[in-house]
Structure 1
């Protein structure tokens, strides 16, 4: 079963939104507070009739409603007809029994929907409630009910629902979120039905000696045979303090330490790996909330590799703030939540392959930045920051300007990422001694991309950053000396200072950056400029690159 599309009305941040998805992997990214988690919650509500792992009917609150629809109700006459409703429609593929026209699109297609709306049976009670409408200060959720139907107008229940969705969210380990029930949902997805029966039987036979039962030991041995979930001893054991069915009295332990007491990073990994294992093969959709949380880089690399290998035919949804996760799982699976919903399905294959091989590059920065600027190296980054700092008294990132060093993968990969998104971006690039070839002709590769703006010195003599700065301060020997004292080390400046004449000094100064350790020399000079308050002139193309007025 695949989720093809979901439509949201009045749900949390999403007043009226539609999201289409990939059949395999969906990597949901966006800035903070853009609605990533809300989207996963909407999927859980519609497919499972649960909210944060608990039955929806017991979790109805005004927090589920979009603020605008609540405000409209409170600012209006508060009549019964003005009460807002939530509707979530999931368009599915894989079960003809769900097919019908009971959807907002009126398409004859497979799917299910959920409504949270006013209960007509409470009309008289509501009429009494609003006799003094000015006293009503909140949405009266107590007068609401829910309905859960397929597009074929068949009522759904927990027992006859056709799609199974598992939401792995580490925050649900918190006691107030029903920790045991949440962990059991993951355990149930991991075990086969005969194994669950064996656990139940043995638990009822002898609770106090449950851990030593032969069948339980056998199951625990099979839980992580290859030790690819954790290198430690993972097993299911009894919670002796409990008092009902096996499901509410079992817990996971790792090396005999209760699961909720082990490190957050290991909790995260084990939850995700168990969910993906899914021996019972009864989960269609797996949702993961920020899998990178609490993990070192090496452990994140291992986890993402595991996800790649074990995902099989499950449809995967995950939120992330990690460029590594996005690049490694394939950047063309990106689902971007911003002012508009965008996907990167049409990005070129070479860029996808490059970023899979070099996943450490900050592609998410260029996607999410309000004002991204691409530069050649760290020296360019520091100089642009210095120019902005001098004029505005703060660093550019404080005003949403993100200067990104392209390093090994070059400008092309980054521009190919933003190209399908039509995201405004600036490129600060060296002309390398040939402005026409390396800037003008090169930019023709993106001639239809009016959202890309290029900045480079048009003089071929100013072939890179350092010569461009030197040329901008070569109107007099005094100004060049002042610049040299800032950019050069004391030892090198003493050599420079022994030279007579503007032209010869300029020649020495420029050639200094072409010799041995040129990269280190350039960065050292950029740091000196950044840390120094001496008044020097910067090339016009650099000054214009950070102007957003």
Structure 2
């Protein structure tokens, strides 16, 4: 079977955050992205549960808890008649590729497919006991004591842990000590990073090492004195190394520069675990899950780790992340968005994906996760729009869930390519740069989607936001003087005051931002001016813009 087996689809019912969900996956890289509490970790835990019958490294049969049931399902049960038929079940199904041994119709879709499922459900054999329990006790949670675990293939064959056809390695340094346990952790690392021949040699040498323990002179001296006068027993009492009980993993540990693994930094632990898992020298891991690889890593080390992942992904990998860098470098077309509607960006424009792989520093996750977005060209536009919103609503746009994103060097196109697929509501505030028809109307025709609208100054002579602001506040000299006192620096304002006519003041004001001929872009002056406007308590006039979609 080897590494060809991978998970095509996962279905989840009543497990933790997910009441009901269906998730199709990519054959290799899957980048799980979603808001906080959206269910990313739940999906990784579901993968662990269905592939190993373990939950957080422990057998689900021995660690079954009411907390793993979906809250809505629990509430429905507790609000109902408490009959055994109302008890919620957890069902997790993994639809596989290239696993004919698991082929059958024993799945929720009743379709012929390869796969396996795990079901946590009421044990009918305990019906009398459960009914008696309900009569005599106050039921305030799921009584998991009356549940059983079923782990079957779609062919209706029970799954045996040691011979299962789909195996994963779950990378999470927080599990190493104490919850996951060093023995279980090291066992997984040995299985994935050593060949069978190497594992056999490791066990053999370890046993020989333990056998040589009692041959050490100090141990012989200790044993000679342990009960030298046979006061404890007439037999020979000694301390020996037990080679028959325990495992290699119980007596060994990883070390980095002779420092035991659990004492090195979390970032280094994370890197080592991910790399050993991906190399998979043991050849018995089909998929790897990694939760937030960016944690505990500097940008440089994260960059190196992401590069390693991209170059060594022979197995299926599931990564959760809150890092736009991780998403961009591993490619947007591997994104799996966990939200109200599960979505993969397989159809993302290839040019956009490649551009963001080369320029991964742009915060694309903001447009992926936000419900409402304003795209602007520069930081001065962001500040002015925030001020306008604050002036109108007495609060900032982010307080209403509106995210203002400065597109900077990559422009609007790549953000809009993402938005059109995800459905994020986007308003684009864009300079007309001297041609409203070409730069706004014609450009907007490339993005005729209900969720995307364009806003701009329709007057070609007002090329950018600053000249539009001057025009909006230039209806009379008093209004313009007030605006100039807010927006201009002290030096520029003193020069401005020496000018007598309104038209000349307007020309001077514009030249501060775009030069006397209107062909310059003094960005730093625009930002400084926007900061002064934002910090001012005075009310100014704003341009009314025209929009198309």
Shift in CA distance, 139/536, structure 1 to aligned 2, threshold 3 Å: same
Per the alignment, in what secondary structure is the counterpart of residue 174 of structure 1? helix
Contact 2:31–2:334 (Cα < 8 Å) also in 1: yes
1:109 is aligned to 113
SS of match in other structure, 2:38: coil
Secondary structure in structure 1 of the residue aligned to 2:365: helix
SS at match of 1:493: helix
Q: Which residue of 1 aligns with 2:370?
A: 369
Q: Decide whether the 8 Å contact of 1:170 with 1:289 is kept in 2.
A: no
Q: Does 1:24 align with 2:28?
A: yes
1:433 aligned residue: 434
- The equivalent position to 1:188 in structure 2, one of 187, 191, 195, is 191
Matches within 5 A, 1:294-373: 294-312=296-314, 314-373=315-374
Confirm or deny that 1:492 pairs with 2:492: yes
Q: Give 1:393 deviation, angstroms.
A: 3.5
| Aligned-residue offset at 1:167 | 1.0
Show the counterpart of 1:136: 139
Question: Once the two structures are superposed, what CA deviation does each residue of 1:282-309 show, in whole Å capped at 9, x if it has no partner?
Answer: 1111111011111111111111001011
- Could you say what secondary structure the match of 1:404 adopts? strand
Q: Report SS of the residue matched to 1:420.
A: helix
Once residues 282 and 33 of structure 1 are traced to their aligned partners in structure 2, the CA distance between those partners, rounded to angstroms, is 32
> Structure 1 unaligned runs (5+)?
211-239
Task: Output one character per residue of 1:471-505: Cα deviation in whole Å (capped at 9) or x when no partner.
Answer: 11001112111211211111111222211100011
Superposed, 1:381-400 pairs within 5 Å as 381-400=382-401
> Partners in 2 of 1:187 and 1:486 — Cα distance?
67
Aligned to 1:226: none
Give the Cα separation in 2 of the matches to 1:183 and 1:466: 62
SS in 2 for 1:274: helix
- How far residue 389 of structure 1 moved from its aligned partner, in angstroms, is 2.4
How far, CA to CA, are the matches of 1:393 and 1:174 in structure 2? 49
Is the Cα contact below 8 Å between 1:388 and 1:394 reproduced in 2? yes
The structure number with the bigger radius of gyration is: 2
Equivalent residues of 2:372, 2:424 under 8 A apart: no
Aligned positions of 1:257-296 closer than 5 A: 257-296=259-298
Deviation at residue 454 of structure 1 after TM alignment: 1.4
More deviation, 178-187/361-370: 178-187
Match of residue 199 from structure 1: 202
Give the match for residue 254 of structure 1: 256
CA distance in structure 2 between the aligned counterparts of 1:296 and 1:389, rounded to whole angstroms:
36
Q: Deviations over 1:117-172 (max 9, x none)?
A: 11112112112101146x21111000001011111111111122111111112221
* Rounded Cα–Cα distance in structure 1 between residues aligned with 2:272 and 2:279: 10
State the match for 2:454 in structure 1.
454
Q: In the TM superposition, what whole-angstrom CA distance separates every residue of 1:245-284 from its partner, at most 9, and x where no partner exists?
A: 2112211111222211211211111111111111111111
525 and 48 in structure 1: CA distance in 2 versus 1, 3 angstrom threshold: same
Could you say if the C-alpha distance between residues 208 and 511 of structure 1 is closer, same or farther in structure 2, counting changes exceeding 3 Å? farther
Task: Determine helix, strand or coil for the equivalent of 2:91.
Answer: strand
Q: Which of 124, 130, 137 in structure 2 is aligned with 1:126?
A: 130
**What SS does structure 2 have at the residue aligned with 1:8?**
strand
The CA distance in 2 between the partners of 1:245 and 1:167, in whole Å, is 21
> Which sits farther off after the overlay, 315-324 or 175-184?
175-184
Q: Deviation per CA, 1:402-447, whole angstroms, max 9, x where unpaired?
A: 1000011110000001111222111111111221221112111112
1: CA distance, partners of 2:246 / 2:99: 36
For residues 177 and 397 of structure 2, the distance between their equivalents in structure 1, rounded to whole angstroms, comes to 38
For the residue of structure 1 that corresponds to 2:499, the secondary structure is: coil
Residues in 2 aligned to 1:417 and 1:151: alpha-carbon distance in whole angstroms: 37
Does the Cα contact within 8 Å between 2:91 and 2:119 map onto a contact in 1? yes
| DSSP 3-state at the match of 1:176 | helix
Residues in 1 aligned to 2:175 and 2:431: alpha-carbon distance in whole angstroms: 50
Q: After the TM superposition, which residues 4-43 of structure 1 pair with which residues of structure 2 at under 5 Å, given as runs?
A: 4-43=8-47
Uncovered stretches (5+) of structure 2, i.e. residues with no partner? 214-241
* 1:176 Cα deviation after fit: 2.5
Match of 2:234 in 1: none
- Report the CA distance between 1:535 and its aligned residue: 2.1
> How far apart are residue 209 of structure 1 and its match?
8.0
Whether the aligned pair in 1 keeps the contact of 2:182 and 2:250 (CA below 8 Å) is no
Residue matched to 1:228: none
Q: How much has 1:208 moved relative to structure 2?
A: 9.5
After superposition, the Cα gap between the structure-2 partners of 1:256 and 1:196, relative to the gap in structure 1 and judged at 3 Å, is same
Alpha-carbon distance in structure 2 between the residues aligned to 1:104 and 1:383? 54
Verify the 8 A CA contact 2:391 2:539 in the aligned structure 1. no
Contact 1:187–1:274 (CA<8 Å) still a contact in 2?
A: no
1:467 aligns with 2:467: yes
* Secondary structure class of the residue paired with 2:308: helix
TM (norm. structure 2) is 0.90
Tell me which of 178, 190, 200 is aligned to 2:181.
Answer: 178
